[in-house]
Chain A
Amino acid sequence: MPTGWYFILGDILSGVLAGVVAALCCVYLFDQQWPMFIAMFAAMLVGMVVAMVLALLLLMRFFGAMEVMIPTMLAGMWAGMIVGMRASMSSLATIDACLYGALIGLLTVLFCWLVNSRLQGVTSHD
């Protein structure tokens, strides 16, 4: 978890927003005419790209670079994948897609904080 409420709230806002926006894009782009696996994979890419653009154009200037880029892209990737898959299986209401996106975004931020708490300060090679 970052130091200070500004970055804590910024991380949560970034992750949730990226998840919701990616989910919204995917619920409009994918429907039951798509084969599930293709929809899942394509929505994953759509979600990542949407989240990356959102991070680059809006979120990074306020809340950080990789600390924003990585969680938002992960949120976009997972939100896109799950919403795309769900939308290809049965009809999905927009509000439900938003809830999926928000929840996935929040979980992604928590996951990144957890992993970071294990890795931060550790000496490593890439």
Chain B
Amino acid sequence: MTDTLTRDKWDRAASTFDLMAGGGAEKRWKTAKQHLFSHMGDGTILFMALGTGLDIPVFPPGKTITAIDISPKMLHCAQPRIAAYDGSINALTMDVHAMDFPDQHFDQIFTSCTFCSVPNPVEGLRAIKRVLKPGGELFMFEHTGSQFFPFKLMMDIMTPLSRKVGPEMNRPTSANVSAAGFEITKIENIYLDVVKTIYARVPSSPPESSRDSPEQAS
């Protein structure tokens, strides 16, 4: 069932999203995102939370990508960028917690500033693990909480406010990736220990602990 509170929040943000978050951030992050998205292969690709499509200009050309977002208004704003892409993007309105895709469907999943906003991040990551093939790869460009003072203190204080208008600022996303059962292969800091790229994959065979108690991690 779609999370209507989250959908409505992002629907409200859609019309001003590019104005507030588009220009400066995309200029800053262009090189890092280009590098991350250069890992897009020829298999089945899912892009999570396409938003207004700010990432599309840095996608490598010629790919066939399925993209989802919870907000239909965000996807409406993304249409010109989808149309301009030199490849194929099939954009669908869908909640990460209630994806219609069959199990083990995708070879690769990409996220970009997604898991700061997914209401139940570990559950969301488990959902994308479900639709990834064994050995499938997860590539994330995310901002997370910091482990260093004074950044951690400030982000902890401000998160109750920031989540009203958009993302949470203190998410332990790489720990969440591990908790969801992924095997992290690389983490690289882009800015402080806050903006980072996370490379992970679904273990080819479930770890012993998962086989023993599949509901344990949370």
Interface residues in chain A, defined as those with a beta carbon under 8 Å from any beta carbon in chain B: 2, 7, 10, 45, 48-49, 52, 56-57, 59-70, 73-74, 77, 112, 115-116, 119-126
Contact = CB atoms under 8 A, between A and B. Distances in A.
B88 interface: no
Interface of B: 19-25, 27-29, 113, 143-148, 150-151, 154-155, 157-158, 161-162, 165, 169, 171-175, 184, 186-196
B195 A66 contact: yes
Secondary structure of the A side of the interface? Answer: helix
9 contacts: A52-B158, A52-B162, A73-B158, A115-B148, A121-B189, A124-B193, A125-B175, A125-B187, A126-B144
A73 B162 CA distance: 12
B154 A68 contact: no
B187 A123 contact: yes
B17 to A, nearest CB: 11
B187 to A, nearest CB: 5
A10 B24 contact: yes
A66 B145 CA distance: 11
Q: Which 6 A-B pairs have the closest CB atoms?
A: A65-B25, A64-B28, A126-B144, A64-B24, A63-B24, A125-B174
Given A48-B154, A49-B161, A73-B154, A122 B23 contact: no
A61 B175 contact: no
Contact of A126 (B22, B113, B190, B196): B196
A67 B193 CA distance: 11
A112 B192 contact: yes
Given A65-B113, A67-B191, A115-B192, 10 more contacts: A48-B154, A61-B24, A62-B23, A63-B28, A67-B195, A68-B24, A74-B150, A121-B188, A124-B196, A126-B144
